[in-house]
Copies of this chain bind each other. A is one copy, B any other.
Amino acid sequence: MAVTKSISRDDVRASILQASLSLMNEGGLGALSMREVARRAGVSHQAPYHYFTDREAILAELAGDGFDRLYDYMVSAVGLARKERAEKNRALGEAYIRFALNNPEIFRLMFRAEMCDLARYPDAKAKADRCFQLVADTLGAAATTMSTSDKTSPDLVPVIAAWSAAHGLATLMLEGKLGEAFGETLDQREEAARRILAFTSQQFSK
C-alpha cells in the first residue's frame, strides 16, 4: 500500500540530498550540478525535478539543514558553558566558528544571498531565523544589561557588533585571507580562532 511507496519516494529524495551534500563537500558549491547529482543518486537526469522545482530548491534544503546543525552546535555549546554571560557569549562564538571551519561549503551556502533567495523558501528561512534569534537572545541578554534601551525595542547594536566579529573571523579564515600564519590543520586553526575570539569577547565584556 501507500507505505512502501512513500518510503521509496523518501528514499530517492534522501539519496538526492545525500548526493548533493557529498558533491558539494568534495568539489565545492560549483561542483553541485543537477545532472551530476542525478548520476550519483542513480536516477535519470530529470528525476530530481520531481522532488525539487529547480537547483535553487536543493540549495535551500541544504542551507536549511545547515542552519539546523548550526543551531545544534550553538545550543549545546551554550548549554555546556559556565553560567556567566561572558562565558556563554564566548561559547556561542566558538561554536559558530567551529561550525564554519568544519562545514565550509555549507557555511558559504548559508550566507550567500545569491545562492538561494530565502524569501522564496519559508522553511529554510524559518530555520535561519531561529539561529539568528538564538544569537540575539544569547548576546542580547548581555547587551540589554549594559544598554539603556527599553524592553520593547532592545538595542541590537551590541548584538550585531559581536555577531559581526565572529562572522567576520569565520569568513576570513574560511577564505584563507589570514594566510597560513595560524596553522594548516583544523585543530590549529580552531585554536587560533579561539584566541582571537577570546580577545574580542574580553573587549566586549567591559
A114 to B: closest C-beta gap in Å: 6
Answer yes or no: A75 CB below 8 A from chain B CBs.
no
Interface residues of A in 37-68 (CB under 8 A from B): none
Given contacts A168-B163, A172-B164, contact A196 B157 (CB under 8 A): yes
Distance of A155 from chain B, by nearest CB (Å): 9
Query: Does B164 contact A200, Cβ atoms closer than 8 Å?
Result: yes
Within 8 A of B (CB), among A161-206: 161, 163-172, 174-178, 181, 195-197, 199-200, 203-204, 206
Report copies per complex: 2
CA distance A28 to B164 in the complex (A): 24
- In the complex, the answer to whether B196 meets A160 with C-beta atoms within 8 Å is yes
Does residue A156 face the partner (Cβ distance < 8 Å to B)? yes
The CA-CA distance from A67 to B121 in the complex, in Å, is: 35
Contact of A169 among B29, B164, B170, B176 (CB under 8 A): B164
Binding site for B on A (CB under 8 A): 28-30, 111-114, 132, 156-158, 160-161, 163-172, 174-178, 181, 195-197, 199-200, 203-204, 206
